[in-house]
């Protein structure tokens, strides 16, 4: 949530899904050079935020996740009893970071990209699983007044 909406989307498309800059530029209706620049800025902003604010990356920083999540819980967007995006995790990010941080000798950009690309702490999902989860989501169908056929 430290990135603006467009930056999050650019980062997810470019880093997490590793979509080619040609295709990604079509998705965002910008030139390939513009997409690469937006992705570079998103990486830089994420790095700056994580290094200056995130307690997982820099032990001198306090963890701010509970403060960010509090508003989501109050608005009913997150149910702390039923964490939909958390249920497939087998380890916490903190455990993974503690185990691997010292062993990994990568430059900082590679480390952040790897953190979001590899997800060794989450069970793998296929694109079909993701599509079925989205289509089968009752809240989504209710919001957009969709019916199952």
Query: What is the residue extent of each domain of the chain?
Result: 1-44
**Contact between 28 and 42 (Cβ < 8 Å):** no
- 127 versus 4: which is more confidently predicted? 4
Total residue count of the chain as it appears in this document: 149
pLDDT band at 100 (very low <50, low <70, confident <90, very high): low
pLDDT of residue 94: 61
- 16 versus 111: which is more confidently predicted? 16
**72-84 pLDDT tens trace:** 788 887 777 776 6
The runs of H, that is alpha helices, within 12-143 are 21-27, 32-53, 65-74, 93-100, 108-118, 127-135, 138-143
**61-73 pLDDT tens trace:** 887 777 777 887 8
The answer on pLDDT for 20 being more than 70 is: yes
- 121 versus 21: which is more confidently predicted? 21
pLDDT of residue 36: 95
18-32, 67-81, 86-100, range with the lowest pLDDT: 86-100
Instruction: Give the pair of three-digit tokens for residue 148.
Output: 């199952």
Please state the pTM of the whole predicted model: 0.48
pLDDT of residue 34: 96
Chain centroid, CA 54 distance in Å: 14
Distance of alpha carbon 39 from alpha carbon 30, whole angstroms: 12
Those residues with Cβ within 8 angstroms of residue 93's Cβ, 6 or more apart along the chain or in another chain: 56, 121
Can you spell out the DSSP letters for 77-90? Answer: S--TTS-TTTTTBS
Q: What is the mean pLDDT of residues 34-53?
A: 91
The answer on pLDDT for 86 being more than 70 is: no
């Amino acid at each position: 949530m430290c990135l603006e909406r467009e930056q999050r989307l650019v980062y997810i498309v470019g880093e997490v899904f590793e979509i080619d800059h040609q295709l990604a530029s079509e998705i965002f209706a910008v030139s390939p050079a513009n997409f690469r620049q937006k992705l570079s800025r998103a990486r830089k902003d994420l790095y700056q935020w994580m290094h200056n604010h995130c307690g997982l990356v820099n032990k001198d920083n306090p963890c701010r996740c509970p403060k960010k999540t509090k508003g989501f819980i109050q608005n009913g967007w997150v149910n702390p009893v039923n964490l939909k995006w958390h249920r497939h995790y087998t380890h916490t990010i903190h455990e993974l970071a503690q185990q691997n941080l010292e062993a990994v000798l990568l430059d900082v950009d590679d480390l952040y990209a790897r953190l979001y690309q590899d997800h060794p702490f989450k069970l793998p999902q296929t694109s079909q699983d993701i599509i079925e989860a989205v289509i089968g989501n009752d809240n989504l169908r209710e919001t957009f007044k969709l019916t199952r056929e």
